[in-house]
Amino acid sequence: MSKFYFDVHMHLDLYRDTEKIIRQIINHKSYTIAVTNLPYLYERAIKKFGESRYIRFALGLHPELIEQFPEQIPHFFEKLEQCRYIGEIGLDFSKNNYKGRILQTDTFEKIIKTCGKFENKILSVHSRKAEREVIDIIGADFNGKVMLHWYSGNMTELNRAIGNNYYFSINGDMLASKKGRDVINKIPLDRILIESDAPFTKDTRKNYNIMYIDNLISDLSEIKRVDKHKMSNILKGNFSRLLK
């Protein structure tokens, strides 16, 4: 039986050897959502690399960059309707910046409201130190699919997100920490997806290797006490439902 690979959150455009990585993704038939951090970076990636059956670029507006690039906000909304994959978006309250938080929140609320007008949007959402606010804004009845990328909040907000039927994308750095493993243990099997967040995780900083996904599946199977083959099938089913 052939292996099924996918990666729902990685930053393809931040690597220097992008063409080599693209060949690797295609050769391994690894379904990849390549998030971007700003609309102009999304445009540049599409123009330079194009898309294929196995690579889809997501329109992004990273919360940590919104205050620095406010002129990108209207460009994001100009492109939003035509894009199915949206990310990286969300809130980041790790810095004590009141003005920045207000701008992030206003923008994220508008993104969720606009995306909710459509049925097919798939969102990859950043929520560092702002889990409660992110969940409050998205709510329980969002008209699309939500992936909380690299969730690191408390169990109360995690339970709320699980109750709202969000997905959670898991990476190697989460698996390597006690808090990350505690989070993963709490997430139902049918809500788990895998990501690399390359190049921002330890094992992907220098290069991107599809075998990283094999390691993720193996580690997940141990933590969740599920046979590796069964875990692979569960993840495949989760990914298929995400796209429906």
Asked if residues 204 and 212 have their Cβ atoms less than 8 Å apart, the reply is yes
What average pLDDT score do residues 18-33 get?
A: 96
In angstroms, rounded to a whole number, what is the distance separating the alpha carbons of residues 7 and 39?
Answer: 21
Residue with tokens 């910046």: 97
Asked if residues 21 and 15 have their Cβ atoms less than 8 Å apart, the reply is yes
Residue 4 domain flag = no
Residue 222 domain flag = yes
Give the model's pLDDT for residue 208: 95
Residue 203, token pair as written in the block: 């094992």
Residue 136 domain flag = yes
Q: With a cut of 60, say whether residue 141 has pLDDT above it.
A: yes
Q: Which helix or strand (DSSP H or E) is residue 138 part of? A: helix 131-138
Residue 38 domain flag = yes
Residue 11, token pair as written in the block: 């930053």
Residue 5 domain flag = no
Q: Using 50, 70 and 90 to split pLDDT, how confident is the model at 2?
A: low
152 CB burial (10 A radius; 0-12, 13-18, 19+): middle
Predicted TM-score (pTM) of this structure: 0.96
pLDDT tens per residue, range 91-115:
999 999 999 999 999 999 999 999 9
Residue 3 domain flag = no
> What domain range includes position 91?
12-243
104: left (phi over 0), alpha (psi -120 to 50) or beta: alpha
When divided into structural domains, the chain yields a total of 1
CATH number at residue 207: 3.20.20.140
Residue 1 domain flag = no
In angstroms, rounded to a whole number, what is the distance separating the alpha carbons of residues 109 and 43?
Answer: 23
pLDDT tens per residue, range 31-90:
999 999 999 999 999 999 999 999 999 999 999 999 999 999 999 999 999 999 999 999
Residue 29, token pair as written in the block: 């038939």
Q: With a cut of 70, say whether residue 237 has pLDDT above it.
A: yes
